[in-house]
Amino acid sequence: MVSDAKSRMIEGAARLLAEKGLQETSFSEVLAVTGAPRGSIYHHFPDGKASLVAQALAHQGATSNALIESARGKPAVEVASTFIGAWRSLLIVSHFRIGCSAVAVTVAADSDDLLQRAGDVFRGWAQLLTELLTLGGIDPGVAPATATLLIAASEGGVILSRAQASIDPFDAVAEQLLAQVRALSGGTPG
């Protein structure tokens, strides 16, 4: 069982990664945002920051997969809309301050292990999206590429919207993605 302090630290690290990036996600920052006792660091993460970041990425992946999974059994356009809508909501609620912790680690990690773990997050999303898009009416031969497009374009839209402090770039990307998924699934409304 994961202790409350450890859970708070993992969740706090995931948020800091998404908001401030890998370099700014220090143990001191994590303690400041979570209120966890300093001794928790050495008790729960004896291997240091890399261990905390790895667990924060696993948390991000699991949380995102649960959200994607909520669209199981729905038409492909609703699967895509669920994934895209989560990013849009995050941008709005955070006032364009939060992006993706896996992207933050990918662009700044100097560790093959952390890059692998960020890659695991993206691979997990792609596999689940592929499965649900196929169940939702997209041909299995194009579902993997469609899942990759959803992830890559959504992440790009998040980056553009954060940089411009505007939802307009994200919405433009989202509109094109949903049109693509609609066309691939035979025009199923959503």
Share of residues in the chain with pLDDT > 70 (%)? 97
Residue 122 lies in a domain: yes
Domain hosting 36: range is 4-184
Residues of the chain with pLDDT under 70: 1-2, 187-190
Please write the tens of the pLDDT for every residue from 125-179: 999 999 999 999 999 999 999 999 999 999 999 999 999 999 999 999 999 999 9
The number of angstroms, rounded, from the C-alpha of 2 to the middle of its chain's C-alpha atoms is 22
Residue 140 lies in a domain: yes
Residue 190 lies in a domain: no
0.85 surpassed by pTM: yes
Residue 189 lies in a domain: no
pLDDT of residue 189: 47
The CATH number of the domain holding residue 72 is 1.10.357.10
The CB-side HSE value for 136 (13 A sphere, CA atoms) comes to 34
- What long-range pairs does 167-176 form, CB within 8 A, spacing at least 24? 167/88, 167/91, 167/92, 170/87, 170/88, 170/91, 171/88, 174/84, 174/88
- How many domains does the chain contain in total? 1
